[in-house]
Amino acid sequence: MEHQPPPFFNRGPAPLVRLMFFVVLALFLMVLDARFHYAEPLRAGLALLAYPIQRVALAPVQLASGVVDFFSSQVRLQRENEALREKQLRLARDLLTFEALAAENAHLRQLIGARERTPRKVTLAEILYAGRDPFSRKVIIDKGGRDEIEPGLPVVDDIGVIGQVTRVYPLLSEVTLITDKDHAIPVQVVRNGLRAVVYGAGDGTTLELGFMATNADILNGDELVTSGIDGIYPAGIPVARVARIERDAAYSFAKISCVPAAGPGRHTQVLVIGRDAKLPPAPEVRQARRTPAKGRRGRRRE
C-alpha cells in the first residue's frame, strides 16, 4: 500500500530553499540595478501607476488638513484685521491730535506776532464756551478780574477784531462779539480813508455799515479796519470786508452788508488788549440835580 501523495498535491522545493533563492535573486537584482540602473524605467512606470492610488488615499487627509487650515487662517486673519483696525484708529487719533496741535501752535505763533505789533498790554485768553442766550452773540473766556481784565477791553485774534469785554467775573469774562446786534465799532475804509460805524446784524455771520449815503464811495470788497477814534480799539485792526451794497434812490442811506474778518469759530485762543496808557481818563458824567417844581412846597413834619 502506497503512502505518497498524489501528483496534484506535489509541493515542490522546500520553503527554505525557495526563500534562499529569492534572497539571492533580490541581492543580484539590487547589484545589477546599482551598477547598470536597469530598473529605473520599471520604477517610473510603477510610480506612475501608483500615483492615482496615492492621491485617492491621501485625499481625505489633505481635505481635513485644508479645512483645519482654512478655519485657523480665518481666525488668524480676523484677529490680525482687528489688531490692524485698532492700530489704524489709534494712529488716526494720534494724527488728528498732532494736526490739531500743529494748527494750534501755528495760531499761537501768529498771536505772538500780533501781540508784538500791538503797543498796548495784551493778555492771552482761551474761549471756553459760547453764551447761553440764543438771541445774543457772546462767548466766555478763561481770564477775569484776577488777570486785570476790565469791561470795555477789545478782544482780537491773529486776523482781526472778535469783540469786546462786556462783563467781568473773578475768573471768567464775557465777550460780546462784533456780530451782536447791540455792538458797534468805528471803522475806516482802507482804500479811501472814509470813516463810518459798523453794527452787528444779529444773525451771527454778517455786519452792517450803517448810515452811509447812497452816493458814498464804497465798493464791494473794500476792507474795513478800526479807526481808533473811540479810544478803545487800536487803529488799523481788520474788522470786516464789504460783501454786498444795495443802493435805492428812494432811501437816504444805502444798505451795506459786510463779512467779519475774524471770528471765534476759527480758533479758541484770543488776545485781550489793554487800555492805552497815553489817553487821559474819560470825564465823569454828572447828573443834573433836579429842582422842585414851582408851586410845590415841601411838607413840614409836625
pTM above 0.75, yes or no: no
pLDDT surpassing 90 at residue 66: no
| pLDDT digits 0-9 by tens, 197-207 | 999 988 888 99
For residue 288, the tally of other CB atoms under 10 A from its CB is 5
Q: Which residue type sits at 240?
A: A
pLDDT surpassing 80 at residue 192: yes
Residue 187: which of 137, 120, 235 has the closest Cα?
235
Mean pLDDT over residues 58-69, rounded? 80
> Which of 5-19, 84-98, 103-117 is predicted with the least confidence, judged by mean pLDDT?
103-117
pLDDT band of residue 5 (cuts 50, 70, 90) is: low
**Length of the chain, please?**
302
pLDDT band of residue 91 (cuts 50, 70, 90) is: confident
What is the model's pLDDT at position 113?
Answer: 63
Residue % of the chain over a pLDDT of 90: 27
Distance of alpha carbon 103 from alpha carbon 90, whole angstroms: 20
pLDDT surpassing 60 at residue 18: yes
Q: Which residue type sits at 29?
A: L
pLDDT band of residue 285 (cuts 50, 70, 90) is: low
Architecture of domain 123-273: Beta Barrel (2.40)
pLDDT band of residue 302 (cuts 50, 70, 90) is: very low
> Which of 82-86, 108-112, 142-146, 206-210 is predicted with the least confidence, judged by mean pLDDT?
108-112
> What letter does residue 272 receive in the DSSP assignment?
E
Distance of alpha carbon 212 from alpha carbon 217, whole angstroms: 9
What is the model's pLDDT at position 145?
Answer: 92
> Which of 21-25, 51-55, 185-189 is predicted with the least confidence, judged by mean pLDDT?
51-55
> Which of 77-81, 114-118, 266-270, 274-278 is predicted with the least confidence, judged by mean pLDDT?
114-118
pLDDT surpassing 50 at residue 24: yes
Domain ranges of the chain: 41-117, 123-273
Instruction: Pick the more confident residue, 279 or 8.
Output: 279
User: How much is the mean pLDDT over the chain?
Assistant: 80
What is the model's pLDDT at position 202?
Answer: 82
What is the model's pLDDT at position 174?
Answer: 94
Residue 224: which of 168, 251, 184 has the closest Cα?
184
| pLDDT digits 0-9 by tens, 213-261 | 988 999 999 999 999 888 888 888 899 999 999 988 888 899 999 999 9
> Which of 73-77, 162-166, 280-284, 292-296 is predicted with the least confidence, judged by mean pLDDT?
292-296
Residue % of the chain over a pLDDT of 70: 78
Mean pLDDT over residues 173-184, rounded? 92
